[in-house]
Amino acid sequence: MKWLLVALMVSATVMADLLQSHEMKQTGEQSVSPGGFARLLQTIARRRMLFLGVMCNAVSFFTFMALVQKEPLSFAVPASAASFVLETVLAKLVLHEHIGVRRTAGALAVLAGVVLVGG
């Protein structure tokens, strides 16, 4: 059951991040201040795909809530990083980001870390 919850959380996280990354690059640089947060909320309300990304975040969040009640935080949080490799590959293929040797090596180190933490 715990791995089913992890799978649902990872799928929702991947969708959320791809949609949000694509949409936020279109909006220009944002700031973190009360005014900046208010503008971000308006942007979410205006942009349908960004709103969908936030909804995917909500699915991921509620799945996480169920997971942390059953499993220790030190398992639940690192296990959610399983989305990491899938998202890195999709960032290159879908978002056309440049992923060089250092970024790939770093991603592999994080993957190894996730396997150790979740194993």
Partner 1 sequence: MKPSGALKTWAVLLFFLALKAAGNSWMAWGMKQVPERMSLDPSLYLHAMANPFVALGIIALILSLLTRMALLSLADLSFVLPVTAIGYVVAVFIGRVWLHEAVSSQRWLGALLIFGGALLVGSTARNTTNPPAPEKASKAAAE
Q: List residues binding partner 1 (CB under 8 A).
A: 17-18, 20-21, 24-25, 27-32, 36-37, 40-41, 54, 57, 61-62, 65-66, 68-70, 72-74, 76-78, 80-81, 84, 87-88, 91-92, 95-100, 102-103, 105-119
DSSP string spanning 21-76? HHHHHHH-----SHHHHHHHHHHHHH-HHHHHHHHHHHHHHHHHHHHHHHS-HHHH
Q: Are 23 and 49 in contact (CB under 8 A)?
A: yes
Measured from the CB of residue 6, what is the shortest distance to partner 1 in angstroms?
14
Measured from the CB of residue 89, what is the shortest distance to partner 1 in angstroms?
9
The 8-class DSSP code of residue 95 comes to: S
Please report where in the chains the tokens 């990304």 appear, as a residue.
53
Nearer to partner 1, 6 or 114 (CB): 114
Measured from the CB of residue 52, what is the shortest distance to partner 1 in angstroms?
13
- How many Cβ atoms sit within 10 Å of the Cβ of residue 60? 21
Measured from the CB of residue 7, what is the shortest distance to partner 1 in angstroms?
16
For residue 92, what is the enclosing H or E element?
helix 83-93
Nearer to partner 1, 48 or 106 (CB): 106
